[in-house]
Structures are given as C-alpha cells and as structure tokens.
Amino acid sequence: MMTIKMRSCLIATVFLMISASQTALAGKTEEAFAGRYVLRGVPQAHSDLMLHPDGRFQWDLSYGPYHRSNMGDWHAEGQSITLDSDPADTPDEQTPFDTINLSADSTGALHIKEFPQAAYYKK
C-alpha cells in the first residue's frame, strides 16, 4: 500500500521529469531555429536576421537610404519565435522595434505576422 508521503514523492518526481523534458525540448527547438535568415518578399529591401544559439539576435534592415539595426534576446515556443529588443542606450535613441513575433511555416520560413507577404528564409 502506498502511503501519502510515497504518493507525494511520486507526484513530485513526475512533475520534475515533465519539467526537465519540456526544458530539453525547448532547447532543441531553439537550436533548430538558430542561424542566419534573409528577408524575401519586400522589393528593394534587404534585411538579415541572425538568431544565435545563445538566445541573442542581430537584425539589420536597409531600404534605400533608410538603415536600421537592432539586437536583443530571442526565444522559441513551438513554431513561434519572439524577438525582444535591448533597451535604447540613451533616452533620445529609438529602437526599430520593442518586440516582434514571428511564426515558422512547414518549410522553416519565418513570417512576420503583421506583413504576411514577407518572410525570412534560412541561408
């Protein structure tokens, strides 16, 4: 017969195992997304997105004389990727974006939810 203490230990062990497996899966998901991506679908624009395996990103966009860059942290959850920008260095400096949410399709292309015609493709 199982005592209350034994049941509690068993439940705690199961929760720890589930938590550890979810952490391992999250790491594998992020490893799969890490790499260099190039924007397609926006004529005359050039943009690179680098997702580093350590959870950092670098982003650049050029459109004619307009040039912006950004960096920060990224994380993946399932097929969704979130880019969170580092804060601006000075109060008058603006970051191009605070947060961007991307979604991966079956080919691995990363789509910007606000611009469905554009996507980042892994190089």
For position 93, what pLDDT does the model report?
A: 77
Residue identified by tokens 């982003």 is 59
Q: Residue 48 and residue 62: Cα distance in Å, rounded?
A: 9
In SS3 terms, 72-84 reads as EEEEEECCEEEEE
Q: Residue 26 and residue 4: Cα distance in Å, rounded?
A: 33
Both tokens assigned to 23: 């952490």
The CATH topology of domain 4-122 is Lipocalin (2.40.128)
Compute the mean pLDDT over every residue in the chain, rounded to the nearest whole number. 80
pLDDT, tens only, 50-94:
999 999 999 999 998 999 999 999 999 999 999 999 988 777 778
Work out the percent of the chain whose per-residue pLDDT is above 70.
Answer: 77
Name the residue ranges covered by the structural domains of the chain. Answer: 4-122
